[in-house]
Chains A and B, each alone.
Chain A
Amino acid sequence: MQIDDVTSYERSIAKYLRQDRLPHIWCAGCGIGPVLNCFLRAIDSAELNPDLVSVVSGIGCSGRVAGYVKLDSFHTTHGRAIPFATGLKLANPQLKTVVFSGDGDLVAIGGNHLIHAARRNIDMTVICINNFTYGMTGGQVGPTAPLDVRTATTPYGNFEPPFNLPWLLHASGASYIARWTVLHLHQLELTIVEALRRPGFSFIEVISPCPAIYGRMNKEPEGLDSLRNYIKRSVIKHGAGPRETAIDHKGPIVVGKFLDIDQPTLQDHLIGVAAKAKKPVKK
């Protein structure tokens, strides 16, 4: 047997992982690991200089991503990953800022920052791991939890309609919107590559299992139960209209690339401002 000296794992992601911190804190069957795996592969596929990639996370299970990547990484306050990354990016436009966080962090407490970052079309990639719940605090209802699901704080079923994230982001002005599940990993990797290369605000929602907390209360007690469910329910529909992408309790999960447009970014506008400001004043 003759084997390659370098395994594909070592070639692709080992150099971007803080090996001394593994095994990580996420539960068995959690979907954050595969998403992180795809992202780390995408850094090379997108031919980015890893020195210039900064990962910013908020609080929660997904917020811990920053702690496992061997890049400049920031674990900030709950919901404030996007404004922190905004400061980082504006102060050094060379940086590629990636915000990695969960649905509760980005859409509930950080919802205002999310829509405003999309409105500004700041050059930033946001990866939202959507597991419909607050995993780290024990499975309370999240802003994306479909109607009727049971969580720690909706014991009689969720009574609030959820956000349809692609629609929200579309309306807010994002340049790139996609959604995949944790099973669509090759597509997800390609999508992250595209998003990293796309100037402007890109948003990738990844539907992810939370077996230990959310799944346990919703008849998907193993990660695999959720994945089998995704196979049954997911429908690939690129360019789907924002109204079609709502997720309910049982219906289809529309996945794919929904939006990819070229529009001036915040940085483009700021360059214009600087040019105007430096023009000599007429006397």
Chain B
Amino acid sequence: MKLWRTPFDRNPDAEPLGYIHIDKIRCKGCGFCAEYCPREVLHMGAELNYKGYKLAAIKDESKCLACGYCELICPEFAITLILNSNANKSEEKHPV
């Protein structure tokens, strides 16, 4: 059994394991995703959506480990995690 921490020590140059899509219409800017992203992929940006909510935005997508917590905690069902099947598969993924 391998250590579950492995993904956090991934080679920083490796391709990200996932990409994040944020639905700008649904996002209400609660900040949950940005606060609890373990790799600080997300942050609260300056952009406002059509309702005037401050939108969550992607700070550094390259760090994403596809843990899926942002997708799970988003109260608005606004975040979609797109898994990158091209990423180096030899490295153990964090169990999603």
| Chains A and B in contact, CB within 8 Å | yes
Whether a CB of chain B sits under 8 angstroms from the CB of A222 is yes
Expressed in whole angstroms, the Cα–Cα distance for A30 and B78 within the complex equals 14
Contact indicator B28/A23 (Cβ below 8 Å): yes
| Complex: A28 Cα to B27 Cα, angstroms | 8
Residues of the A chain whose Cβ atoms lie less than 8 Å from the Cβ of B71: 8-9, 37
Contact A29:B30 (CB < 8 A) given known A9-B81, A17-B77: yes
A29 with B81: CB separation less than 8 A: no
Bound Cα distance A141, B25 (Å): 33
Q: How many residues of A contact B (CB 8 A)?
A: 35
| Least CB separation from A211: chain B residue | B30
Q: Nearest residue in A to B83 (C-beta to C-beta)?
A: A4
In the complex where A7-B82, A9-B71 touch, is A37 in contact with B30 (Cβ < 8 A)? no
Count contacts on B: residues with CB < 8 A to the other chain: 32
A75 CB → nearest B CB, Å: 19
Q: How far in angstroms is the closest Cβ of chain A from B67?
A: 10
Q: Are A8 and B68 in contact (CB under 8 A)?
A: yes
**Which A residues lie within 8 Å of B88 (CB)?**
none
**B68 — which chain A residues lie within 8 A by C-beta?**
8
21 CB-based A-B contacts, threshold 8 Å: A1-B19, A3-B19, A3-B86, A7-B80, A10-B80, A22-B76, A23-B78, A26-B75, A28-B29, A28-B53, A28-B75, A29-B32, A33-B77, A34-B72, A37-B72, A38-B72, A183-B36, A183-B73, A185-B73, A211-B30, A222-B31
